[in-house]
Amino acid sequence: MVMPSSGSPLVADLQEICGREFVLSHQDELATYRSDGLLHYRQVPVAAVLPATADEVQAVVRACFEAGVPWVARGSGTGLSGGALPVSDGVLIVLSRLRRILSVDLENARVVVEPGVTNVAVTRAVSPTHFYPPDPSSQIVCSIGGNIAENSGGAHCFKYGFTTNYVVGLEVVLSDGSVVTMERDPPGYDLLGAFVGSEGTLGVATRIALRVIPAPESVRTLLAFFPDTGAAGDAVTAIVDAGIVPGAIEMMDALAIEAAEQATGAGYRTDAGAALIVELDGPREECLVGLERLMTLCAAAGAMDVRIAQSDSERELIWRTRRAAFASMGRIAPAYYVQDGVIPRTRLAEVLRQIDALAAEYQLRVANVFHAGDGNLHPLVCYDASVEGEPERAEELAGLIIKACVDAGGSITGEHGVGVDKKAYMPSMFGEPDLDAFQRLRCAFDPHGRANPGKVMPTPRLCGEVPGPYRQHPLERAGVAERF
Amino acid sequence: MSTVTIEAPATFEEAAAALAAATAEGRRVRIVGAGTKLGWGNPGTPADTELHTTGLDRILEHNAGDMTATLEAGVPLELAQRTFAAAGQMLALDPPLGGPGSASGATIGGVVATGDCGPLRHRYGAPRDLVVGVTVALSDGTIARAGGKVIKNVAGYDLPKLFAGSYGTLGVILSLNVRLHPLHECSVTALGAATDGRVLGSAAVALAAAPLEFEALDVAWSGGRGTLLARCAGPEARRRAARAARLMADAGLDETELSDRDGRLWERQRDHQRSEAGALVRVSVAPTELATVLAAVEDCGGRLVGRAALGTSYIEVEPGVVDRLRALLPARAATVILDAPAALRAQVDPWGVDGERRAGELELMRRVKMRFDPSGTCNPGVFVGGI
């Protein structure tokens, strides 16, 4: 393979397809695209191309295939695992110009969009009667195409599920430039289910059909403070054991409260060890009854203080403060690693104690923000890059936290994806036969390894020939099918 | 005439070894759970070996606090449900469990492998939405795991979804990690009736848009008359069901009523997803096309039950009118014949896939099959396109 350069025939082909102004190949033009939301990984691609239509995407992928060049698809670039990190010998396909909402059919609760449409634009398109539940905290800017790649979650997925539960149709360009449509619930393999969450390694979605659901008629938000995370965890367990399924259950520890409160001044109690946000949504009768039960359960678990949002603005302030926890961490630490571990919810207290002990041992501060209903932890490991050795210590600590999650029966990532950032942790969760099974799927879709190479799998793998003893299938003998 | 050998492994290793041996010896393997749905799909290539999963019958974990469980593939779903119910929980899958020659009823492995579901799909989804992890044996003897035991996890490819509904053509499901939900103590169902399919269809669309969080929203139709059923569960189930009944009346349905002893109603919906002597066709259309489907059913003298908001229906007709039914359905309807007498099965493609329209998808499916089961050992020929 010849490494393409800015003057190569491939770049000329891309200019032909998309127009000269939508193919960037100079270093200074490419600076914007060298990272996604995870800024410490940087890589400059040979070119970044901004197609305007699905046909242009297909033509770009085909041109790359014919030139033997790998490519990476990118949405809004908000991902937190380096999933959209370019490859140095490849093309970055930026989908932000594919931002049309193609159809809205509320009677059938279906919306069809292009991949560059933002997450929040889907809910806006179907409001006020309906909504689109997956709501990653970057929802104002993150794209649906990126959500498909990462199987994005958000605060409301304990009750409502993930992106994969809402995608009902896809048009996908495979790495050889062919186009495949995939449907939810087809006769046949659930290719759509396998594609969602595949982090851009199986192809690029160019048209996406989503299911939306009726908007809840009532939303009640409760904010409770506890002396420590253990008591808050007990409250979560009591709520779930009672058969209550809140729309969201979010927890913050003392350090996260401190940072967030500095940002918004919402009146969060900084003398508390933990804050719990519980949001009930649904039919109004159920919310009223549920709220009473929630208050009783929080009090029984030792809540210091329980507040109910009395207005939309109070509710918004509670959530704005929760969302500020990440961004405002800069007020108390110059830099941080954000982790995305998952644990079985019943192991919460135990794992938090382990994290505290590890933080003390490494002499670093760790703030915890998490989706408590589904056990998805976002520990923020704070460090100062100007202190020699501290970034390395922080990275090591972050790794040990993930190990603690896996040891507790959990996962290395709940919603951010593996990307480049967590691929080294994959062997802690999966053995060689498991990784081999993943590779079989990858090879069925992309036998040449052109789509987003170097992501997800811990070590590079080739596809090779189909293994095992060959036996001709009757359909092949009949000439109906071929072997690939 | 060749004899069919029976393997009944009791461990994952035994299952994988049996599969590897079959592959090495060029034997074709038919994977069997309780055997309640063996007639589904293409008849396929006759098997040399039957691999029964019923020896893999342990509930390995029930983590009540985390609302998850790990079940070996051969565990009867009904038995698992009893275990979960004792802790006030359920696996939100309620397909019919019976079938020819089965005393214990459908296994979890068979339900997931066929993607079968019942009315609860409205709220909780299909097997693919409830399975969070899977352990499988591939035809070369590999034992592989994917997914995890927690409900939220995006590490690695979503092979649990690939195996759900794959009819055993990619390998043998050995165990499944599933997500559980609270089991509600009481439920109330609102009912409304119509003799005009268009009225029933528009009422179904109206109810589907109501923010009442139904556990299930079903339709039933036979003999020129249909019913809409909306099931509510939870502390305020009765009030919500009463609101649903008012919406039904507003939408033009007659004889609206509430039933708080609704177990039998829903059993009937499930039972009618099977046919003993006739043909049972599963149809997927857009929800607004329900009226067209009902007209086709009426024309063919059939009976329908289905999920009003999802557009999935189960239609029982005489075997002789299946082609006519298919012709009357909306053009892009997906129609799969599930139960059918052997004579019909020999004549028609049960999958009803438009090979031209879905050529790219079929090609990709074949490539998936070739990678996971290159020797063609597992359930050869039973699946879409002869996979």
Rounded average pLDDT over B17-23: 98
Instruction: Give the model's pLDDT for residue A53.
Output: 98
Query: Is the four-CA dihedral B83, B88, B89, B90 of positive or negative sign?
Result: positive
Strand order across the beta sheet in which A71-74 lies: A23-24, A47-49, A91-94, A71-74
Q: How many CB atoms lie within 10 A of CB A187?
A: 23
pLDDT classification of A5: cutoffs 50, 70, 90? low
DSSP class per residue in A197-230: TSTTSS-EEEEEEEE-EEPPSEEEEEEEEESSHH
Are B152 and A414 within 8 A, CB to CB?
Answer: yes
Instruction: Give the model's pLDDT for residue B9.
Output: 98
Mutate to test the interface with B, among A171, A189, A196 (most CBs of B within 10 A): A189
DSSP class per residue in A68-104: T--EEEESSS--SSSTT---TTSEEEE-TT---EEEE
pLDDT at A480 over 60: no
Calculate the CA A173 to chain-centre distance. 21
Rounded average pLDDT over B31-41: 95
Q: Could you tell me the two tokens for B125? A: 């989804």
Instruction: Give the model's pLDDT for residue B173.
Output: 98
* CA-based max dimension of chain A: 75
Rounded average pLDDT over A184-190: 91
**Number of A:B CB contacts under 8 A?**
283
Calculate the CA B178 to chain-centre distance. 15
Nearest CA to CA, how far is B33 from chain A (Å)? 20
Among A4-13, A118-127, A261-270, which stretch is predicted with the lowest mean pLDDT? A4-13
pLDDT at A415 over 60: yes
Q: Rounded to the nearest 5°, which phi and psi values hold at B187?
A: -140, 150
pLDDT, tens digit (0-9, with 9 covering 90-100), for A280-316 = 999 999 999 999 999 999 999 999 999 999 999 999 9
pLDDT at B263 over 60: yes
A227 touching B (Cβ < 8 Å): no
Nearest CA to CA, how far is B176 from chain A (Å)? 15
Are A475 and B381 within 8 A, CB to CB?
Answer: yes
Peptide bond into A453 cis (omega under 30): no
pLDDT, tens digit (0-9, with 9 covering 90-100), for A123-173 = 999 999 999 999 998 899 999 999 999 999 988 999 999 999 999 999 999
Size of chain B, expressed as the number of residues it contains: 387
DSSP class per residue in B63-105: EGGGTEEEEETTSBHHHHHHHHHTTTEE-S-------TT-SS-
pLDDT, tens digit (0-9, with 9 covering 90-100), for A41-100 = 999 999 999 999 999 999 999 999 999 999 999 999 999 999 999 999 999 999 999 999
pLDDT classification of B15: cutoffs 50, 70, 90? very high
Rounded average pLDDT over B347-374: 92
pLDDT classification of A465: cutoffs 50, 70, 90? low
Are A189 and B368 within 8 A, CB to CB?
Answer: yes
Between positions 409 and 448 of A, the ones with CB within 8 A of B are 409-418, 422, 426, 429-431, 433-438, 440-445
Question: Who among A283, A429, A431 is closest to B212 (CB)?
Answer: A283
Burial zone of B96 (CB within 10 Å; 0-12 exposed, 13-18 middle, 19+ buried): buried
Beta bridge partners, B258, equal: B190
List all residues 6 or more positions away from A81 whose beta carbon is below 8 Å from its beta carbon.
A38, A150, A199, A340, A413, A416, A417, A418, A419, A420, A421, A422
pLDDT classification of A464: cutoffs 50, 70, 90? confident
pLDDT classification of A3: cutoffs 50, 70, 90? low
Nearest CA to CA, how far is A218 from chain B (Å)? 9
Return the closest-CA partner of residue A195 out of A165, A170, A212: A170
Nearest CA in chain B to A239: B65
For a pLDDT cut of 90, what percent of chain A falls above it? 84
Nearest CA to CA, how far is B101 from chain A (Å)? 26
pLDDT, tens digit (0-9, with 9 covering 90-100), for A436-455 = 999 999 999 999 999 999 99
CB–CB of A69/A46 below 8 Å? yes
pLDDT classification of A330: cutoffs 50, 70, 90? confident
Measured between beta carbons, which residues in chain B are less than 8 angstroms from residue A442?
157
pLDDT classification of A102: cutoffs 50, 70, 90? very high
Measured between beta carbons, which residues in chain A are less than 8 angstroms from residue B155?
411-413, 418, 422, 426, 429-430
Q: Rounded to the nearest 5°, which phi and psi values hold at B110?
A: -70, -40
Are B155 and A468 within 8 A, CB to CB?
Answer: no
Instruction: Give the model's pLDDT for residue A40.
Output: 86
CB–CB of A133/A161 below 8 Å? yes
List all residues 6 or more positions away from A179 whose beta carbon is below 8 Å from its beta carbon.
A58, A171, A172, A173, A206, B360
Are B287 and A109 within 8 A, CB to CB?
Answer: yes
Q: Which amino acid is at A216?
A: P
Return the closest-CA partner of residue B258 out of B186, B154, B356, B359: B186
Are A108 and B311 within 8 A, CB to CB?
Answer: yes
List all residues 6 or more positions away from B366 whose beta carbon is below 8 Å from its beta carbon.
A481, A482, A484, B385, B387
Instruction: Give the model's pLDDT for residue B102.
Output: 63
B61 touching A (Cβ < 8 Å): no
Question: B290-299 vs B197-208: helix axis angle to the nearest 10?
Answer: 150
DSSP class per residue in A354-375: HHHHHHHHHT--EEEEEETTTT
Question: Who among A344, A371, A433 is closest to B144 (CB)?
Answer: A433
CB–CB of B190/B233 below 8 Å? no
Question: Who among B136, B159, B367 is closest to A484 (CB)?
Answer: B367
Beta bridge partners, A281, equal: A219
Residue environment code for B284-317, b if the CB has 16+ CB neighbours within 10 A, otherwise e: bbbbbbbbbbbebbbebebbbbbbbbbbbbbbbb
Beta bridge partners, A336, equal: A382
Instruction: Give the model's pLDDT for residue A482.
Output: 38
Q: Which 8-state DSSP code applies to residue A342?
A: B
- Give the pairing type, strands B49-52 and B29-32: parallel
Are B182 and A164 within 8 A, CB to CB?
Answer: no
DSSP class per residue in B169-231: SS-EEEEEEEE-EEPPS-EEEEEEEESSHHHHHHHHHHHHTSSS--SEEEEEEETTEEEEEEE
pLDDT, tens digit (0-9, with 9 covering 90-100), for A357-406 = 999 999 999 999 989 999 999 999 999 999 999 999 999 999 999 999 99
Question: How large is the C-alpha radius of gyration of chain B?
Answer: 21
Measured between beta carbons, which residues in chain A are less than 8 angstroms from residue B353?
187-188
Mutate to test the interface with B, among A236, A440, A461, A483 (most CBs of B within 10 A): A440
B359 touching A (Cβ < 8 Å): no
Measured between beta carbons, which residues in chain B are less than 8 angstroms from residue A410?
148-150, 153
**Phi-psi bin for A263: left (phi > 0), alpha (psi -120 to 50), beta?**
alpha
Among A102-111, A454-463, B378-387, which stretch is predicted with the lowest mean pLDDT? A454-463
B214 touching A (Cβ < 8 Å): no
Measured between beta carbons, which residues in chain B are less than 8 angstroms from residue A371?
152
**Phi-psi bin for A174: left (phi > 0), alpha (psi -120 to 50), beta?**
beta
Return the closest-CA partner of residue A242 out of A306, A289, A181, A179: A289
Strand order across the beta sheet in which B59-63 lies: B59-63, B68-72, B172-179, B131-137, B143-147
Instruction: Give the model's pLDDT for residue A39.
Output: 87
d(CA A142, CA A149): 12
Instruction: Give the model's pLDDT for residue A332.
Output: 82
Measured between beta carbons, which residues in chain A are less than 8 angstroms from residue B362?
188
Strand order across the beta sheet in which B49-52 lies: B5-7, B49-52, B29-32
Nearest CA to CA, how far is B11 from chain A (Å)? 18
Mean residue pLDDT of chain A comes to 92
CB–CB of A252/A274 below 8 Å? yes
Instruction: Give the model's pLDDT for residue B96.
Output: 95
Question: Who among B234, B309, B384 is closest to A187 (CB)?
Answer: B384
Instruction: Give the model's pLDDT for residue A477.
Output: 43
What are the residue ranges of helices labelled H in A80-186?
A: 119-126, 144-150, 157-160
pLDDT classification of A9: cutoffs 50, 70, 90? very high
A451 touching B (Cβ < 8 Å): no
pLDDT at A414 over 50: yes
CB–CB of B57/B72 below 8 Å? yes
Measured between beta carbons, which residues in chain A are less than 8 angstroms from residue B126?
185
Q: Could you tell me the two tokens for B15? A: 């299952």
Instruction: Give the model's pLDDT for residue B45.
Output: 87
d(CA A235, CA A239): 6
d(CA A308, CA A292): 11
Return the closest-CA partner of residue A271 out of A282, A285, A261: A261
Rounded average pLDDT over A194-207: 98
Q: Could you tell me the two tokens for A3? A: 């490494």
Question: Who among B235, B288, B375 is closest to A468 (CB)?
Answer: B375
Instruction: Give the model's pLDDT for residue B103.
Output: 67
List all residues 6 or more positions away from A360 whose beta carbon is below 8 Å from its beta carbon.
none
Mean residue pLDDT of chain B comes to 95
Are B209 and A474 within 8 A, CB to CB?
Answer: no
Q: Which amino acid is at B90?
A: M
Return the closest-CA partner of residue A474 out of B44, B370, B365: B44
CB–CB of B164/B115 below 8 Å? yes
Instruction: Give the model's pLDDT for residue B186.
Output: 87
Three-class SS state of B135:
strand
pLDDT at A323 over 90: no
pLDDT classification of A474: cutoffs 50, 70, 90? very low
pLDDT at B159 over 80: yes
Rounded average pLDDT over B79-97: 97
CB–CB of B175/B134 below 8 Å? yes
pLDDT at B104 over 90: no
Question: Who among A164, A196, A475 is closest to B386 (CB)?
Answer: A475
Q: Which 8-state DSSP code applies to residue A4?
A: P
Rounded average pLDDT over B27-47: 94
- Give the pairing type, strands A47-49 and A71-74: unpaired
Instruction: Give the model's pLDDT for residue A471.
Output: 45
**Pick the residue with more confidence: A180 or A264?**
A180
Instruction: Give the model's pLDDT for residue B51.
Output: 98
pLDDT at A337 over 70: yes
Instruction: Give the model's pLDDT for residue A470.
Output: 40
Nearest CA to CA, how far is B152 from chain A (Å)? 5
